[in-house]
Chain A
Amino acid sequence: MSAPPGDEAIIQFRDVTKIYPLPGGDVVALDHVSISLYPGDFIAIMGPSGSGKSTLLNLMGCLDTPTSGTLFIKGKDVSSMTDEEQTGLRRDHIGFIFQQFNLIPLLSALENVQYPLILKTGDRTCSLQCVEVLRSMDLEEHLFTHKPSELSGGQQQRVAIARALVNDPEILLADEPTGNLDTKTGTAIMDLLKDLNEKKGKTIIMVTHDPGVAKFAHRIIRIVDGKIS
């Protein structure tokens, strides 16, 4: 991979294999994967269904650990971290954006955005900063107090991106962020992500099926049967 000289990899896979042991036999979701990603990268992961894209993204997001091989995130070996440290890393340095939006149903739009910040700081009076982030997602202000179930898909995804951004993480991980949106809304969301990459320097890794969406990325990683091709 083309490593810009002098630049530390922010995420590095060294010969990583991920196996899910199932009663019907082991599933090899990732098969000896080695890749390096650098700060400021905008990467699209493409491949057929079941090829291991989500598994790759989940490992990057510290939600799981490799069966073998080593995975470094921000220079640290994930396998050597405790669950608490991994959770802290997710909270402070990684933002997740899901295909299903996955907002917390009990909380309003604004509260959803506030949630990670309160987790981090313990301060519940942080609405100004959160309103700021939510505004920058082009969400109409009267929707801030609405519950997720009262918002459209595009609106929910904007709230979800705001939630991913509120702790100012270096890494944004998006698993088919436009998968549940129509083309027009999807393009608007992609414009937002592109902006975040270009203006804020966020490292973005996203999984997508859509070549039109993949166009936004600098680099495309193709994966088939758990192997990078």
Chain B
Amino acid sequence: MQPSLFFDFALRNVRLHWFRSLLAIIGIVIGVVAIVSMGILGNSLVLAISDSLSTVGDSVIITPHAGGMGGFGPGGSKELLTERMIEQIRRAVAPDTTIPIYSGSSRMTIGTEDTVGVVYGIKPDDIPILLEIEDGAYLKGSSGAMAGARFAEENNLKVGSRITIKDKGSLRVVGILKERGMGFDINPDYGIVVEDKWYQQSYNQQDYDMAIVKVRDLTRIEQTKEVIEKQLNRRETEVDVIDTKAILETLLTTFGQISTFTTAIGGISLIVAGVSILNIMMMSVTERIKEIGVLRSIGTQRREVRSIFLYEALILGLIGSIIGGLLSIFGGYAISLLMLETTEYLFVPSSLIYIVYGIGFGIGTSLLSGLYPAWKASNLNPIEALRHE
């Protein structure tokens, strides 16, 4: 029962000085809205970027070591992965699949239009492992090609359209690929995929540009990477090996830091709100020195005086934080729409949790700001407080 008496005191004082209390509450509301909106923005940003990444962290990517001597003579020809190296990789990672890949780019003619696109040469059997199909069929013969989603869209390609590659011949589109998004291995959205043999002949190239190993057991990805490096880089560094899981993790950590940073910016406005509560509570204490003296002289304990002021801070913080929490749904909506042009990442748990954080921080900041004034009030000397005018 006793606490409610002091709570009542606090409530009455908040109401008596309603305008001042209102200002403090507005401060907290703004602080909470800022911290939550920034948090939601940061989180939505991370979600949006992760969504546009095609790669799940299940691949190991092997590329020729840049700047190495690769075995080619002078003339500056680029380094490649030889058939022998591919075999070594294949044996090392078995039973996981190794997919050797040719990649280059070419001028093409579609209808009457000239354009440039990326060209990937992949063995038809391996294509379904890497890429999903939107329309048509997977590649079978050597006279066909599959078009990336964006490339098809931009050039009005349909199943059955023809693409003429300068000097190399003409290919019929047998399938359109699903949009894949940003990838760490291959990015066929803006190009075409052809048969490996066709690529070999047309570009007169035997060795591969890169290889992808699909790892079935994700816990073994590190190990797989090490095995490959041990096999090929024993004497000198011949290949660079990266695993997409590590890249993904680094990226997500970076985004997490960005998100924390934006939230911290919101936090600054909460600190400002905290200072305004501190200021208002100090005013309240100074104005009520005599009253505190009376309370103490008729038998109110120090901790009871302290609780009156802490309750006051709590009331301000609670009202401000809850209003702020509600408003920040709109704030988050507005800022998502403005910055990301989508609100699809707003009503997901990892975004909404920021409302809980925001309310928590709002109440915490208020209580923290009330601590010093409450301590000050409870430690006043009763006689001096009574003599105070």
Contacts and interface: CB of A to CB of B under 8 A. Distances in A.
| A-B interaction | yes
Contacts of A104: 291, 294-295
Contacts of A87: 296, 299-302
Interface of B: 1-2, 4-5, 9, 12-13, 16, 290-291, 294-302, 304, 382-383, 386
B298 A123 contact: no
Contact of A83 (B1, B2, B302): B302
B298 A106 contact: no
A96 B383 contact: no
Contact of B299 (A58, A106, A116, A123): A116
Contacts of A103: 294
Contact of B297 (A96, A115, A118, A124): A96
Given A102-B294, A106-B13, A91 B4 contact: no
Nearest to B293: A102
Contacts of B386: 63, 98, 102
Contacts of B382: 63-64
Interface of A: 58, 61, 63-64, 83-84, 87-88, 90-92, 96, 98, 102-106, 115-116, 118-120, 122-124, 163-164, 167
A163 B298 contact: yes
A124 B383 contact: no
Contacts of A105: 291
15 contacts: A63-B297, A63-B382, A64-B383, A87-B301, A87-B302, A96-B298, A98-B294, A103-B294, A104-B295, A106-B9, A116-B299, A119-B299, A119-B300, A120-B299, A124-B4
Given A64-B383, A92-B299, A105-B291, A119 B304 contact: yes
A58 B383 contact: yes
A105 B292 CA distance: 11
The 7 closest A-B pairs by CB, nearest first: A91-B299, A122-B2, A102-B294, A90-B299, A106-B12, A122-B1, A63-B382
Nearest to A94: B299
A91 B298 contact: yes
Contacts, number: 66
Contacts of A163: 298
Contacts of A92: 299
A123 B301 contact: no
Given A83-B302, A96-B298, 10 more contacts: A63-B386, A64-B383, A87-B296, A98-B294, A102-B297, A106-B16, A116-B299, A119-B304, A122-B1, A124-B4
Nearest to B302: A83
A115 B294 CA distance: 12
A63 B383 contact: yes
A129 to B, nearest CB: 16
Nearest to B389: A100
A122 B2 CA distance: 5
A202 B386 CA distance: 24
A120 B299 CA distance: 9
B298 A118 contact: no
A96 B4 CA distance: 25
Nearest to A115: B298
Given A84-B302, A90-B298, A116-B298, A124 B291 contact: no
A154 B84 CA distance: 110
Contacts of A63: 297, 382-383, 386
A58 B383 CA distance: 8
Contacts of A116: 298-299
Q: Which among A106, A115, A124 has the greatest number of chain B C-beta atoms within 10 A?
A: A106
A163 B299 CA distance: 12
A115 B295 CA distance: 9
A83 B382 CA distance: 11
A119 B122 CA distance: 85
Nearest to A120: B299
Contacts of B290: 102
A87 B291 CA distance: 16
A88 B300 CA distance: 8
Nearest to B10: A106
A64 B5 CA distance: 27
Contacts of A96: 297-298
A120 B301 CA distance: 11
A24 B198 CA distance: 104
Contacts of A122: 1-2
B259 to A, nearest CB: 45
